[in-house]
Amino acid sequence: MEVADGKISNVRVIRGAPCGATWEVVKRLIGHPSDDAARKIGLETQFFCSADPAGWDPLYGKSPVHFAGKIHDKELKKQLRIIRGDHELNSIDFGDRE
């Protein structure tokens, strides 16, 4: 992921939701303010997720749609913290973890 001028400028998805929502959502993040990106990815993931929203998980007490939104929100926040925490780092490649 890359941020330029306070906006998401690039996102590379290595592993996303099985339903394909991740790839649809990241297209909508480009140009969006990074400060609001976590909220947007969580909501948009729920809109594009094809999981049954009525199928509540008995362990987490949430539907798979809400769970997917939270996972995307959490991961985007994590990547933004990494980018903002190191002034030398302005891009991240999520691939090739050995």
pLDDT digits (tens, 9 = 90+) for 14-70: 888 888 899 999 999 999 999 999 999 999 998 888 877 777 777 777 788 888 898
Q: What is the pTM of this model?
A: 0.74
Tell me how many domains the chain contains: 1
Q: Is residue 92 part of a domain?
A: no
Domain containing residue 40: 2-85
Q: Is residue 95 part of a domain?
A: no
Q: Is residue 36 part of a domain?
A: yes
pLDDT at 94 over 50: no
Q: Is residue 75 part of a domain?
A: yes
d(Cα 40, Cα 66) in Å, to the nearest integer? Answer: 13
Amino acid at 93: D
- In our burial notation (b when 16+ CB lie closer than 10 A, e otherwise), range 46-64 reads bebbebeeeeeeeeeeebb
Q: Is residue 90 part of a domain?
A: no
Q: Is residue 76 part of a domain?
A: yes
Task: Give the chain's end-to-end CA distance (angstroms, integer).
Answer: 19
Report the relative pairing of strands 7-10 and 2-4 from DSSP bridges.
antiparallel
d(Cα 48, Cα 35) in Å, to the nearest integer? Answer: 22
Residue 88 CB burial class (10 angstroms; 0-12, 13-18, ≥19): exposed
Token code pair at residue 28: 């909508």
